Amino acid sequence: MPAPDQPRTLHAAAEPRVVGKEASIWGRRRVLLLNSTYEPLTALPMRRAVIMLMCGKADVVHDDPSGPVIHSATRTITVPSVIRLRTFVRVPYRARVPMTRAALMHRDRFRCAYCGNKADTVDHVVPRSRGGDHSWENCVAACAQCNHRKADHLLSDLGWTLRSAPLPPKGQHWRLLSTVKDLDPAWMRYLGEGAA
Ligand SMILES: [Zn+2]
């Protein structure tokens, strides 16, 4: 939790240091930033998250007791998993969530759209060779076996059906799912319906 009784100095916040072996993860680790309304906004580099905490722009929502420890001139901070802005920021509305393999797998819950088994490939429902595009509406998670059997066929050729119509996901948390490689499991409860 934040410690408002401790002195905060901007110059100290601008120069946080990571000690020892923690330095190696300095560049990789991300902290989930929530709006003041708890809407997920983005995954911040650790350095920016720490500076926001030190400047009093954000508070800790979810601690990570095993997180790396950062020392400044005046404070020691264990880097949390999730922080929240103190003041609301308006997020520009963007209509379409970019499709990535990771986000597609989350949308389809890692299940094959044809047989329901564990999926590990992406299938184009209308094959690209037949003009199908690379979009949320034309891509599904598929197991390797179904993908191989389907090959360049249309569903109508095979008599197959989809278990549900593929649609683009909606909501801010999908941007995180589509752009962040390593999602911290602690974030899932803040990412809303369908994220886990
Ligand atoms: Zn399958």
pLDDT in tens, 42-99: 889 888 999 999 999 999 999 988 888 888 788 888 899 999 999 998 877 666 778 8
DSSP 118: B
Report CA(120)–ligand 1 centroid distance (Å). 9
- Domains of the chain, earliest start first: 10-93+172-190 (no CATH), 101-158 (1.10.30.50)
Report CA(103)–ligand 1 centroid distance (Å). 19
Highest-confidence segment of 15-24, 65-74, 153-162, 183-192: 153-162
- Mark out the alpha helices in 60-196 (DSSP H runs): 101-107, 144-150, 155-158, 172-179
Give the global pTM: 0.59
Report CA(179)–ligand 1 centroid distance (Å). 26
24 vs 47, higher pLDDT: 47
Report CA(112)–ligand 1 centroid distance (Å). 5
Cβ neighbourhood burial of 194 (10 Å; 0-12, 13-18, 19+):
middle
Report CA(81)–ligand 1 centroid distance (Å). 35
Give the model's confidence band at 149: pLDDT under 50 very low, under 70 low, under 90 confident, else very high.
Answer: very high
Cβ-contact 81, 184 below 8 angstroms: yes
Supply angle C-alpha 181, 78, 175, rounded to 5. 25
Q: How many helices (H) and strands (E) does the chain have?
A: 6, 9
Distance CA 172, CA 41 (A): 7
pLDDT in tens, 105-130: 989 999 999 999 999 999 999 999 99
Report CA(159)–ligand 1 centroid distance (Å). 14
Report CA(13)–ligand 1 centroid distance (Å). 51
Kind plus residue range of the DSSP H or E element containing 141: strand 139-142
Give the model's confidence band at 31: pLDDT under 50 very low, under 70 low, under 90 confident, else very high.
Answer: very high
